[in-house]
Chains A and B, each alone.
Chain A
Amino acid sequence: MTDAGYVITAYAVIIGGLGLYTLLLWRRLRASRGRDDEAR
């Protein structure tokens, strides 16, 4: 792989991972709050 390849891989995983974690966090938050409302 060229230098640029490693740079792209590093950024893709870090920035992509940050985005993925945020998305999953939203989903978990919605799921938790949704079940909370049902319980009431």
Chain B
Amino acid sequence: MKTRILGFVALTAVAAMTVIGLFVVPADLNQGDAQRIMYPHVASAWLAYLSFGVTAASGILWLWKRDLRFDAVALAGAEIGVMFTAFAIWGGMMWGRPIWGVFWQWEDPRLTTTALLLALYVGYLLLRHLTDDPERRATRAAIVGVVAAVDIPIVHFSVEWWRGLHQTATIGSPDRVLNPAAPMVFVGTLLGMLGAFTLAWGYLMIRRYQLARADVQREEAARLDRLMSARTAQPAR
């Protein structure tokens, strides 16, 4: 019931912030309408990082406490994180075309890093699909999730360096949205969108977790069933 209320609030917030971001907030002086893409783009990127952080933390907790509920949280984080990563990349591309003139800007470390992030966690999800035993799956996924999370800062740092040492002109980057000169309306809209998306994230995490638990219980029941029928099939001595 409480989850349902959260879902309702999240739905309203996202709808309201979409309307505000599209129609209410004035267009940016430099970037024009394209700047409106920044609101959902930045919010998606933030939630992607949050999700993967949750996945890594729950992976460690599983290895430590051996409670499959942590693994369900890790799965929810990875799947929802992949979705938000894809949104962030999509938003970045749609923003890059009108501003930079290209969909994919190799000079921008964020886009490249995010693409690698997507690959890392799609691999994580595929690995889960390919392992049948729940505990084995949880262990493998946990360590892959931890190593992936360790890799994220190295990737970001190296890509930033790669570009930095190359001495290329820095073109307007998404950070501009949050620089001190930005008028308060823009900052407020961005924070509003962040809040709305985070609410939606919380709702989806809870529901995805419930699904993961239901799936595990179903798997377990099916296994018991098979065991029982194998037993009864044996002739009585």
Contacts and interface: CB of A to CB of B under 8 A. Distances in A.
Interface of A: 1, 3-4, 6-7, 9-11, 13-15, 17-18, 21-22, 25-26, 28-29, 32-33, 35-36, 39
Given A11-B37, A22-B203, 20 more contacts: A3-B33, A3-B34, A6-B34, A6-B37, A7-B36, A7-B37, A10-B37, A11-B36, A17-B83, A18-B83, A22-B200, A22-B204, A25-B207, A29-B210, A32-B215, A33-B214, A36-B214, A36-B217, A36-B221, A39-B225
Contacts of B36: 7, 11
A29 B214 contact: yes
B222 interface: yes
Given A3-B34, A29-B211, A9 B221 contact: no
28 contacts: A1-B97, A3-B98, A6-B97, A6-B98, A7-B22, A7-B33, A7-B34, A10-B41, A10-B91, A10-B95, A11-B21, A14-B40, A15-B14, A15-B18, A15-B40, A17-B83, A18-B83, A21-B83, A21-B204, A22-B200, A25-B204, A25-B211, A29-B207, A29-B211, A32-B218, A35-B218, A36-B218, A39-B218
B102 to A, nearest CB: 13
A11 B18 contact: yes
Contacts, number: 81
Nearest to A40: B221
Contacts of A9: 94
Closest 5 CB pairs of A and B: A10-B94, A32-B214, A3-B33, A10-B37, A6-B94
Interface in B20-39: 21-22, 32-34, 36-37
Nearest to A36: B218
Nearest to B222: A39
Main DSSP-derived SS at the B contact region: helix
B46 interface: no
A14 B44 contact: yes
Contacts of B110: none
Contacts of B203: 22
Contacts of B163: none
A32 B210 CA distance: 10
A5 B157 CA distance: 34
A11 B34 contact: no
